[in-house]
Structure 1
Amino acid sequence: MRIVRLYFRLLGAHLRALLEYEADFWILAAATVLLQVINIAFLAALFAKVPDLNGWTFWAVVMMFGLVSFAEGFGSFFFEGLWRLAWQINTGELDYFMVRPYPVVLQASSADIGINGLSNIVMGGSMIGVALAHLSVAWSPWRVLSGVFLLASAVVIKVAINLATNSVSFWLESSIPVFALAVHQAGDLARFPLSIYPLALKAVLGFVLPFAFISFFPVAFLLEEGSAPWIGLLTPLVALYCLTTAFSIFRRGLRRYESAGT
């Protein structure tokens, strides 16, 4: 509990610093909301021309968009510091973290806060709620509980992938997380049904970089759609695997960290 309390105190310090510039806060929040509105407008224009995407309706895809946005928002708001890891390694700033009595990975992840993440959480949650209101889901206590676990697992998968890909910076010399940014962009493919992609891309999004477990498989399970909706129940196991792998990569990278050399 002490570790959790300190983590939120660190985030709170960054949040207070950001709120000193209120105009920046509102502009960034508005820009994030506008981006999500543009995404929905794009989907509406797409489905105005086609009745479905390989059997998936407009509201099912909206829910996938919402899950991706919610997971990205959660990761940005609470773990934005991971995107500074390459800079911290390159400049030797990580030295300060290593001599403090607090886990290095948590210091790194709480080194910044993404205000845009808050907008993504709100917009993503809104898209999920509106989509569920338009979809026929056979709700039961078990399905409600499963939905909560799937949403939490989707967030863990997204954060774990961010940690793993940013930890690759220990093996690179750039102060910009190029690899992590490229993987992050690939994650946008998870906004659409996995079934529309070729087999090779399905394998990448389903197993190598399991972005499909953030959106497609949980939605398939809740709606009982697709050829194997039960795969969605594996989402918590995938989340555990991703988190374990991410921590392993980070620890290996930290052991080879050589400071800035000055």
Structure 2
Amino acid sequence: MRTVRMYFRLLGAHIRALLEYEGDFWIMMGGTIVMQVVNVVFLSAIFAKVPAINGWTFWAVVAMFAMVAIAEGVGSLFFEGMWNLAWQINQGELDYMLVRPYPVVLQVSSANIGINGLGNILTGGLMLGAALSHVDVSWSAPRILLGAVVIVSAIAIKVAINLATNAAAFWMQSPGPIFAFAVHQAGDLARFPISVYPLALKAALGFALPFAFVSFFPVTFLLGHGQAWVGLLTPLVAVYCLAMAAWIFRRGLTRYESAGN
């Protein structure tokens, strides 16, 4: 609990620093919301021409966009510091973190905050709520509970992928998160049903880099569409991804040699 309290105190310090510039805060929030509105308008334009994409309706795809937005929002708001890891390694700034009585991975994660994540969480939540209200799903207490577990697990998978790919900087030693950014861009493919992609891409998004468990499979469970049972595997995939990300980070940390200054 002390570690958790410390983590949120560090994030709170970054939030207070950002709020010193209120104009920047509202511009970032407004820009994030506009981006999500543009996504919905883009989808509306597509579905104005076709009734469904490989059996998936407009609101089902909106739900997938929403899941990606929520996962990215949580990653930005609470774990944005991961994207600074490559720079910290290159400049030897991890030296300071190694001598502090606090887990290095949490120090890295809380080293920065992306306030735009708040806008993604809010708009993603609204999009998901609207999507679920437009589908015929029989909700019960167990289904709501399972749905919440699946959503939290999907977010955990996205955070774990970000950590693992950013930890590649221990081997690449580049000052920028080039590899992590490339993988992040590939994750945008998960905004659409993976059933529309060729087999190789399905395998990549479903197993190699399980972005499909961030959006597609959780939505199949929430909507009861297609092979909904696969969505129930999301918590297991989350545990695997978190364990692998932690292992990669620890292995990378053993390779850290400072910057020699």
TM-score tier after normalising by the smaller chain length: over 0.9
SS in 2 for 1:76: helix
Asked if residue 161 in structure 1 is aligned to residue 161 in structure 2, the reply is yes
Asked if residue 248 in structure 1 is aligned to residue 247 in structure 2, the reply is yes
1:20-67 Cα offsets, whole Å, 9 max, x none, are 111111111111111001100000000001110100000000001001
Residues in 1 aligned to 2:173 and 2:97: alpha-carbon distance in whole angstroms: 19
* Letter in structure 2 aligned against 1:142: P
1:82-131 Cα offsets, whole Å, 9 max, x none, are 00000110001111100000000000000000000000000000000011
Residue matched to 1:43: 43
Residue matched to 2:182: 182
Residues in 1 aligned to 2:138 and 2:238: alpha-carbon distance in whole angstroms: 25
Residue matched to 1:70: 70
* Letter in structure 1 aligned against 2:259: A
Residues in 2 aligned to 1:161 and 1:64: alpha-carbon distance in whole angstroms: 18
> Post-superposition shift, 1:222?
2.0
Residues in 2 aligned to 1:33 and 1:224: alpha-carbon distance in whole angstroms: 28
> Post-superposition shift, 1:173?
2.2
RMSD of aligned alpha carbons: 0.6
Asked if residue 19 in structure 1 is aligned to residue 19 in structure 2, the reply is yes
Residues in 2 aligned to 1:4 and 1:95: alpha-carbon distance in whole angstroms: 22
Residue matched to 1:199: 199
* Letter in structure 1 aligned against 2:145: L
Sequence identity percentage: 69
For structure 2, the residue ranges without an aligned partner over 5 or more in a row are: none
* Letter in structure 1 aligned against 2:236: L
Give every structure 1 segment of 4 or more consecutive aligned residues whose post-TM-superposition deviation is greater than 6 Å. none
Residue matched to 2:173: 173
* Letter in structure 1 aligned against 2:55: G
Residue matched to 1:238: 237
SS in 1 for 2:118: helix
> Post-superposition shift, 1:141?
1.3
Matches within 5 A, 1:78-93: 78-93=78-93
Q: Is the 8 A contact 2:221 2:229 kept in 1?
A: yes
Residues in 1 aligned to 2:158 and 2:74: alpha-carbon distance in whole angstroms: 9
* Letter in structure 1 aligned against 2:205: L
1:138-185 Cα offsets, whole Å, 9 max, x none, are 211111011100110011000000000000000012110000000000
SS in 2 for 1:225: coil
When normalised by structure 2's length, the TM-score is 0.99
* Letter in structure 1 aligned against 2:182: A
Matches within 5 A, 1:23-34: 23-34=23-34
Residues in 2 aligned to 1:190 and 1:150: alpha-carbon distance in whole angstroms: 16
Residues in 1 aligned to 2:32 and 2:223: alpha-carbon distance in whole angstroms: 28
> Post-superposition shift, 1:224?
1.9
Q: Is the 8 A contact 2:80 2:110 kept in 1?
A: yes
SS in 1 for 2:128: helix
